[in-house]
Amino acid sequence: DAGVTQSPTHLIKTRGQQVTLRCSPKSGHDTVSWYQQALGQGPQFIFQYYEEEERQRGNFPDRFSGHQFPNYSSELNVNALLLGDSALYLCASSLIPGTPSSYEQYFGPGTRLTVT
């Protein structure tokens, strides 16, 4: 049973460029949440997707957008990259809140984004 997978593992981009990160949830899970973890800090919630729609959003600008596909996998897109976007991007998969065992959240290995 595959856990949460993310790609790529590492990425280096230049300021102003755009980037797409990918996440496949754990088998059986239908909800994907994205987090940004800057160096030395705790993860911060970006947004959450369920049924191909953004259900919740954290305090991030519109440069951060996402998508969920019918197979529950998800993408995180960041436009007009800034140096401050350099971070570890984590996705977490779960069942939709309100269902049994929805408290179980599994994090993927992360994508390390460096903006130069």
Residue numbers of the site for other proteins (CB under 8 A)? 31, 33, 35, 41-45, 48, 56, 58, 88, 90, 92, 94, 97-98, 102-110, 112
Nearest distance from C-beta of residue 111 to other proteins, angstroms: 10
Q: Closer to other proteins at the Cβ: 46 or 115?
A: 46
Comparison of 18 and 99: residue with beta carbon closer to other proteins: 99
Cα separation, 30 vs 38, in Å, equals 26
For residue 76, how many other CB atoms are within 10 A of its CB? Answer: 25
CB of 93 to other proteins, least distance (A): 10
Query: Closest distance between other proteins and the C-beta of residue 26, in Å?
Result: 12
24 phi and psi angles, rounded to 5 deg? -115, 125
Instruction: Tell the burial category of 98 from Cβ atoms under 10 Å away from its Cβ (0-12, 13-18, 19+).
Output: exposed
Q: 65 or 105: whose CB is closer to other proteins?
A: 105
Structure tokens at 106: 């599994």
